[in-house]
Structure 1
Amino acid sequence: MAARPIWNGTLSFGLLNIPIQLMTGEKRTELHFRMMDARNKAPVKYERVNAETGEEVPWKEIVKAFEYSKGNYVVLEPEDLANAASENREVIDIEAFVDREQITPAYIEKPYVLVPGKKAEKGYVLLREVLKKTGKVGIGRVVIRTKEYLSMVLPQEDALLLMLLRFPEEVVSLEEYNIPEGDAAKWKVTPKEMEMATTLLESMASDFNPEDYKDEFKERLTAAIKKRLKQKGATTTVEEEAAAPEATTNVVDFMSLLKKSLEKKGEAPAKATARKASKKPATKKAPAKATSKSKKSA
């Protein structure tokens, strides 16, 4: 079954807009189970029940509420949630380009693949190649479903990936944990121990090949399921859904747009410099405080 885009939109930086499709970049392969009553093998239901009346509550009557103090709630209307999200629901607007090394692993949340729309290949390749050449990644925001995420656009082989990032407040500071500070000498690690550990590490060194690593727990569990199937028998049917149409666009004069973007940046060099200077301390602060900025996605 062909993968379906989460949405069709644009990837924007300066005055350039590249039509793209946002596609999932991960496959969830967990085995899913249904709860059953051991006495008669009937499925166990999870019902939405009113705590006062004991009656089931229809979905249309369910609202979201925020607990602002113990036992006290304020009810939110659908428009409150909609208004909180960015208006640019189908735009990845790159706000800055930063060095890839500044984004520490603690900030990385989830991968997506960006696929160019029809006639958008040139702009796609232009951004991909300039990111490869400079070692930079694009930092921007994206709305998926009703939640806004910080995100990073980076090249991988022939593709552009969109990585969702966590905001700084979602990353636990390393300072909160009792982690040994200082070098090897402070902890009385001898040169001989360092030498032996280095030799061991080098003897185990190899290239990373993802195909070498299997989910062995899943394989054993699958074997157990197959064994049970021979005893009981089971079938299931999955309906396939049609793929959404691709985004389209007209031919774009990239040279003209690039020139205009650069001219626009040149109109306020002092402002751009000030903004860059104001961001610099925040970059250095992050330990896993690197540079910035995540949940239920597709």
Structure 2
Amino acid sequence: MQTKPFRIGTRGSPLALAQASETRARLMAAHGLPEEMFEIVVLSTKGDRITDRPLAEVGGKGLFTQELEDQLSSGELDFAVHSSKDMPTVLPDGLELSAFLPREDFRDAFIGRTAPTLAALPDGATIGSSSLRRQALIRRRRPDISVITFRGLVETRLRKLEEGQVDATLLALAGLNRLTMSDVVTEVMDPADFPPAPAQGAICIESRIGDDRVLDLLEAINDRPTSDAVSCERAFLAALDGSCRTPIAGYARCDGDHLHFSGLILTPDGQQEHAVEISGLRRDALALGRKAGETVRSAAGPDFFADWT
């Protein structure tokens, strides 16, 4: 029987702490355990410390996970809680994504200071975003708009917006909902023409492969539809070698035993794109994601990816 508290690793941002707290609450309810059986361990990651440059310039998604994964591999943590869209497609040896919480809203949220919608922004307006996907989608719809890199915590970005550094910004609606800050949203983006990042809105839990004690604990809170959908989306990313350097969108939804996936790749200027849709059985989620990625890569041709450096 477990006598020591399970150690849950997380970043220290308000959103990361909210996600770790939700995970703890679900585990307490599922197993009838008291709060003291779960210790939330806060670690600072390189991605948290470097906020003045685009992620692509300093290493990509792994910047938000390495410190947590190092302590997970060494046994200092029992498991770690992450935003699924921050996770690289290749994990360190010995680690796996072992559970997913029920997915929040996957859509993007527009927060406008000088206009309530993207369409209503005046010519030459400035939007701040750290996501190459969002930047490319903005340029696709509004090539007249200036898009600048805009990093930092949710609260930091909203403060910069209020200060007038930009006319608008875009954030994940899921994060704003988890922070009970959705009142700042002025437009929820339609995923039909502004599709989300793969795995957006999903919380994942990373643990050691073969650690049955932890795996048995986590299985009770694993949401199967989210797990299958995100597995498909991550397989699409992996087939495209997707990272923070690439404008890629994708979303899978489960319908009974079936799964439907829509994916999109764009050039950074948003002027060229290739879309793909695929459906099949949920049990084939990984294969469907890989096939979608291979299909769109083949259709685009090697020249399409020449600037993805």
TM-score using structure 2 length? 0.21
TM-score using structure 1 length? 0.21
Structure with more contact order per residue of length (Cα contacts < 8 Å, sep ≥ 6): 1
Which one has a larger percent helix, Structure 1 or Structure 2?
2
